[in-house]
Chain A
Amino acid sequence: MSPLDGPAALTARGLIRDFRGFRAVDQVDLTVAAGSVHALVGPNGAGKTTLFNLLTGFLAPTAGRIELDGHDITGLPPERVARLGVARSFQITSLFPQQTARTHVELALQSGTGLGWRFWRSHRLLERFSARAGELLDLVGLGDAGDTLAGSLAYGRKRALELAIALALDPKVLLLDEPTAGMGLEDVDRTVELIAAVRDGRTVVLVEHNMSVVGRLADAVTVLQAGRVLVEGPYEQVRTDPRVIEAYLGSSEGSADAAH
């Protein structure tokens, strides 16, 4: 049975977001089935990142409703959404440049424990997470970079660290904003394999321009255009939808970067 037949993990109903009169997200309905990998595609400026920001509480919707496992989470602040099990990566890598890679993962592992409030304890308390942090760094191929400052990691490795941090939160729903953007072919392959490996027991929403990555990972696809949903459905169906072929895939269907 495909996960697409199961219950929804994350849904958006009639989601609208205006920026001073400009409607970046326009009446978006989105249903992400639990356990599925759901790709969000569309041209630059279609509103994909804005939709992510709405789903994770970084932006408040102008109108509409967001549900996580059937519970209303509209208007919750980002930290609450994160604690409910929704982790995100940022399109523009967002790290603590002066902290080591390991500290990033340790901070992520600590966040659910409440230990962060302990101003009377030594920061060595974080060391209890270092073994697990090491495992996660190994998993994303950063095993050798634990003591490297995030600011001095190469671009592709920063993306990998973003992924390690998100995984450290052990999320139910993982939102990845262009996880392979700017990566070399090898890193893209590794990232795809990694996402395929960690999707078990999770729901993944993926913004991705690279159609071959979408094809390899996605169960369902939502195509956004100018803030609106153009098509939503199972990957095989969306892939062959005439509107989509005309708008994005054109003649080079299936090739990388067709969405540009």
Chain B
Amino acid sequence: MTSLLLQRVRTPRWAGWLLLAAGALLALWLPNGLYPAVAVDMLCWALFAVAIDLLLGYGGLLSFGHAAFWGTSAYTAGLIAAHLGVPFPVAVLGGALAAAALAAPIGYLAVKRSGIYFAMVTLAFAQLVYFVANGWSSVTGGENGLQSVPRELFGLDLSDPYYFYYAALPMAALGLLLAWRIVHSPFGRVLVAIRDNPARARALGYPAHRYKLLAFVLSAFVAGLGGGLFAVAHGFVSLDVVHWTTSGKGVVLVVLGGIGTLWGGVVGAALVVNLEDQLSQAGFTLIGLVTGGIFVLVVLLFRRGLWGSAVALLRRYSRL
């Protein structure tokens, strides 16, 4: 929705570049101010949230099954890294491609539904993936998880998460750039048109289902980049990656940051990952209660999410 507001009140070009520069500096500094492992997690979840927003904010499709793609990529990337000894970006890319391939048939069936039915279909398929992952323990390790995923990159020692962060950052940045490009492409324009008025878009000759399907597959790819990176970062893939709570967390991150803002997902991920870490450091056990409470507050106070509201505020002042 912010992308549409952009047309009404044109933000000056320099404001966008300024924000981008600030974001880049922040990303470069991040592991110096936080635990590097936490910073890496932020990158992964940011990719996941942005992927979900791509579909929700621009396609109007709420997926409640993106754990299937995050998890499929995590397992695939983990297996590639463990067995082929390739540089980790190749393993992550392989994972993301596997996620996209899985998204094609699921999306084909799901995009014929909309609203809550779309969410239900995606959830149902994600549960199927969960049961397969759980049962197929010879490959996935079942409840024990997939152990000892290496972090190979041309023989560099990446065992320190501080260095791994900088190795992972370009890949995450490319993933976010891809999402941004998709949203600001001719395809993104058509997708938004279909979201706003599918009948009109179809009367113009745009096959709405196929556009939604491509959006679904692209979203799964970006989510897969996050999931693959997550597997390599932790050196381990647990069954949690395909659990429905993972899908739910992704949606929460997007709503916190602001639906249809793209970067809102990054903000939501940064906030929640950091908060979870702080709370667990402090020995707090009811982490879900706190993040849930914050979620409720944000939803009640900031209709557009944190990032969406901040951008709206900035716009108002830049117009004065």
Taking beta carbons and an 8 Å cutoff, which residues of A are in contact with B? Answer: 56, 58, 77-80, 82-83, 87-88, 90, 94-100, 103, 107-108, 110-112, 115-123, 125-126, 149, 165, 169
Q: B190 to chain A: closest CB distance in Å? A: 4
Which residues in window 199-217 of B have CB below 8 A to A?
199-208, 211, 214
The CA of A80 and the CA of B188, in the complex, are separated in Å by 21
Decide yes or no: A78 and B203 within 8 Å by CB, A94-B197, A118-B186 being known contacts: yes
Compute how far the CA of A58 lies from the CA of B181 in the bound complex, rounded to whole angstroms: 32
A73 to B: closest C-beta gap in Å: 14
Identify which of A77, A80, A169 contacts B204 (C-beta below 8 A). A169
Chain B, interface SS category: helix
Q: Are B204 and A111 in contact (CB under 8 A)?
A: yes
B193 CB-CB contact with A under 8 Å? yes
User: B7 at the A/B interface (Cβ < 8 Å)?
Assistant: yes
Complex CA gap A80/B186 in Å reads 20
The interface bits of chain B over 1-24 (1 if a CB of A lies within 8 angstroms of the residue's CB, else 0) are 000100110000000000000000
CB of A167, distance to nearest CB on chain B (Å): 12
Would A58 and B208 count as touching, CB distance under 8 A? no
Task: Count residues of B near A (Cβ-Cβ below 8 Å).
Answer: 29
Within 8 Å of chain A (Cβ to Cβ): is B315?
Answer: no
Cβ of B187 < 8 Å from any Cβ of A? yes
What residues of A have a CB within 8 angstroms of the CB of B214 in the complex? 117, 119
The closest CB in chain A to the CB of B181 belongs to A120
Whether A116 contacts B186 in the complex (CB less than 8 A), given A96-B196, A98-B4, A98-B196, comes out as yes
Across the interface, do A107 and B189 meet the contact criterion of CB distance under 8 Å? yes
Q: Report yes or no: A96 in contact with B188, Cβ–Cβ below 8 A.
A: no
Are B207 and A77 within 8 A (Cβ)? yes
Q: Which residues of B contact A120 (CB under 8 A)?
A: 181-182, 185
Contact between A123 and B186 (Cβ–Cβ < 8 Å)?
yes
**A-B contact list, 23 entries, CB within 8 Å:** A56-B203, A78-B203, A79-B204, A82-B204, A88-B203, A94-B199, A94-B203, A95-B200, A96-B192, A96-B200, A107-B193, A110-B186, A115-B186, A119-B186, A119-B214, A120-B181, A121-B185, A121-B186, A122-B184, A122-B185, A123-B185, A125-B186, A165-B204
CA distance A79 to B207 in the complex (A): 5
